[in-house]
Structure 1
Amino acid sequence: MRSLSFLLSRRWILFLATVLLLSWVAWMLGQWQFHRLDDRQESNAIIERNAHAAPMPVAEVLSPEHPLDAADEWTHVTATGTYDVASTVVVRYRTRDGVAGVNVVVPLVPASGPAVLVDRGWVATDNRGTTSADAVPDPPAGEVTVTGWVRVDAEGDSARVADQSTRAINSVNIAEALDLTAHQGFVVLDTEDPEPETPLAHSGLPEMGNGPHFFYGLQWWFFGLMAIGGFIWLTIDEVRGKKRPARPGRRRPPAQRVR
C-alpha cells in the first residue's frame, strides 16, 4: 500500500474533496430534476382529470372565503354576469414569440354574489411595462356567459397591484385594490357568449408533455460519475508512473580531438 501513500498528500486530499463536492452537487441537481418531473406528471394528471369534463358553475369550485385547492385547478367552469370594464387590470411582461404584450383581467359581476376575475387573454402592445387598462380592447357589453378553467392565485412580490396593473394574478390583491368582493382564484377564458368585437389571444391549456427533466437528471448524474471516474483514472496513472522504472539516459560518445 506504500504506492498509494501519495493520496495522503495535501494536494491529493484537496483534489479528492473537490471531486466529492462536485459529485454531490451533480447528484443533488439530478434529484432536483427528477422531483420536477414528478411535479410535472402530477400537474398533468390534474389537468387531464379536470380540464376536459363538462363545465360546472363557478360557485361550485371557487369561494370568496377559501383559496382554490390545487387538486381542483384547471376545472372547467361557466359563469354569467356583466364585465366591470372600469375595473380592468393588465398583467405586464407577457411576451409571446418575442412580441411584447399584456394579459387582460376583467371582473365578471353576476346578478348576485361575488365577482369572478376572468383572464380574457393576451394582446400585443408597444411595450411590456406601461400599458394602461384603457388601451386594451373592451369585452362584450351586457350580460355575458363565459367558460374557462380555474387557476390558483400567484404569490410573492410579482402579484402586487398598482394603478390597475400587476405582474401576476392574485385575486385577493386585485379585489382589495379594486374594493371588490370576488372569488379567490381566477378563470382563464375559453369562450365568451356573445363574442367580443376584438377577440384576444386565449392562453388555453398548457402543454402536457413531461419536458426535458428526465434527461437533464441523467446528465447531472453522468457528470458526477465522470468526476469520480476521472479521479480514479488519474490515481491509477499516478501509481503506474511511480512503479515504472526510470529510463537510463543515453551516453554521448566522447568528442574526438581534431589533430
Structure 2
Amino acid sequence: MSRDGRVDDSGTTGWRFAFSRRWLGYLAFAIVFAIACGFLSNWQLARSKEAAAANALVTENFDSKPVALTDELPTLGSFSAKQEWRRVIVTGTYERDQQLLVRNRPFNGSPGFEVLTPLRTADGSLFIVDRGWVPTGNKTDAPDHVPAAPAGSVSVVSRLKASEPAIPGRSATGDQVGTIQLSVVKQKLDGADVYTGAYGLLDSEDPAPATAPTPTVTSPPTQDEGLHWSYMIQWIIFALIGFFGLAYALVTEYRKLNSDDPAEKARAADRERRRRAKRTDADVEDELLDATR
C-alpha cells in the first residue's frame, strides 16, 4: 500500500489507509475543530449566565429597601455596577434655580427632555435627581412647562444610575446638557461639590408635589438573555457533525479501496438489496422513465 492509502497489488488494503498521513491530518483537523466548537459553546453558556445574573441583580436592587445615600456612596465619586438601581434615601433641599434639562430624551415615541434637579444634602454637597420626563414645547428646543420641584426640606427616594458617557457630536448650552454626564453637570453647577459617580432616578419624594414630570422607569428593566443556550447546543452539534463527517468519509473510502475484497463485495450486495427493498413505487417509476430517455 502507498503512503496516501491507495490500493496495493492484492486489491485490498483493509483499514491500513486510515493511518496514512492524509487521514491523520483529517483527524487532527476534526479534533481542532471540535475544540474550537467547545470553546464557543462554553462562551455562549457564560454569556447566558451573565445575562441571567444581570437580570437577577436588577430585580434585587430595584425592589431593595432604601438605605441612606452616604451608606451607598461614601464619597462623591463612589459607585460600582452592582449598585445600579439600588434605592437610596436622602433628605435635603432642591436647588430649583439650578435645574438642568437633558436634551434628546424620547419617551414612548415622543421627543422630550429629562429634568435634573440638584438636591443639596445636609453636608452641603449636591446629589443630582432625575425627576422625570417632559415633552418638547412649541419651540421644540425647550419644554413649554416643567413642573416645579417641592420647596423646602424634602425626603427623596431614588434609584442609583451611573454617570452617562459623552456622545460625540451631542452638546448643549445654557441650562441644557447633551447627556447625564455628571462631570459636565458639575461644570454647569460652577464646580460645586457634586456626586459624580452616580445620580438618582426619582422613585418618590415627600412632600409630593401637585404635579411632576412623567416617571421614565416604573418597573425593573430586563436584559434579553437571547438565544445563548440554543447557540451553545448548536456548537456542540457542529463538533459532532465534524466527527460524523470524518467517519462517513472514512467508511466511503474503505469501501472504495476494498471493493475487490470478497467480504466487502458481499456487504455491498447486501446493502444494495436493502436499498432496493426500501424503494417506493415512485422510485421505480423514476428509474423506468430514466431508462427510456
TM-score, length-scaled by structure 2: 0.62
Is 1:118 paired with 2:118? Answer: no
**Structure-2 residue corresponding to 1:153:** 162
Contact 1:103/1:121 (CA < 8 Å) preserved in 2?
A: yes
Is 1:142 paired with 2:151? Answer: yes
Distance in 1 separating the partners of 2:99 and 2:59 = 33
Q: Give deviations 1:201-225, integer Å, cap 9, x for gaps.
A: 3423524x6x553x73322220111
Q: Which amino acid aligns with 1:147?
A: V
Structure 1's 56 and 136: CA in aligned 2 closer, same or farther, altered over 3 A? farther
Structure 1's 63 and 183: CA in aligned 2 closer, same or farther, altered over 3 A? farther
Match of 1:191 among 199, 204, 207: 204
TM-score, length-scaled by structure 1: 0.69
**Structure-2 residue corresponding to 1:232:** 243
Structure 1's 212 and 40: CA in aligned 2 closer, same or farther, altered over 3 A? same
- Classify the secondary structure of the residue corresponding to 2:218: coil
Structure 1's 203 and 58: CA in aligned 2 closer, same or farther, altered over 3 A? same
Q: Give deviations 1:3-43, integer Å, cap 9, x for gaps.
A: 4344345x776676555434433332332222332343344
In the TM superposition, residue 239 of structure 1 has moved relative to its aligned partner by 1.9
- Classify the secondary structure of the residue corresponding to 1:123: strand
Distance in 2 separating the partners of 1:63 and 1:136 = 35
In the TM superposition, residue 228 of structure 1 has moved relative to its aligned partner by 0.8
Contact 2:102/2:177 (CA < 8 Å) preserved in 1?
A: yes
Q: Which amino acid aligns with 1:137?
A: V
Match of 1:166 among 164, 169, 178: 178
Distance in 1 separating the partners of 2:193 and 2:77 = 13
**Structure-2 residue corresponding to 1:79:** 91
Matches within 5 A, 1:1-259: 1-4=15-18, 5=20, 6-8=22-24, 17-18=32-33, 20-48=35-63, 51=64, 53=65, 55=66, 58-59=69-70, 61-62=72-73, 65-68=76-79, 73=84, 74-90=86-102, 92=104, 94-109=105-120, 113-125=124-136, 132=141, 137-140=146-149, 142-143=151-152, 145-154=154-163, 156-158=165-167, 162-163=172-173, 164-167=176-179, 169-179=180-190, 180-184=192-196, 185-192=198-205, 193-197=207-211, 199-207=213-221, 212-213=224-225, 216-244=227-255
- Classify the secondary structure of the residue corresponding to 2:227: helix
- Classify the secondary structure of the residue corresponding to 1:236: helix
Q: Which amino acid aligns with 1:7?
A: W
Q: Aligned-residue CA RMSD in angstroms? A: 3.8
Please, which runs of 5 or more residues in structure 1 have no aligned partner? 249-259
Q: Rg bigger for which structure?
A: 2
Contact 2:94/2:119 (CA < 8 Å) preserved in 1?
A: yes
Contact 1:90/1:105 (CA < 8 Å) preserved in 2?
A: yes
Residue identity over aligned pairs, in percent, reads 16
- Classify the secondary structure of the residue corresponding to 2:201: strand
Q: Give deviations 1:104-160, integer Å, cap 9, x for gaps.
A: 21213358612221111123448xxx9645656232363262522241423543499
Distance in 2 separating the partners of 1:135 and 1:18 = 62
Distance in 1 separating the partners of 2:171 and 2:94 = 23
Structure 1's 136 and 106: CA in aligned 2 closer, same or farther, altered over 3 A? farther
In the TM superposition, residue 240 of structure 1 has moved relative to its aligned partner by 2.1
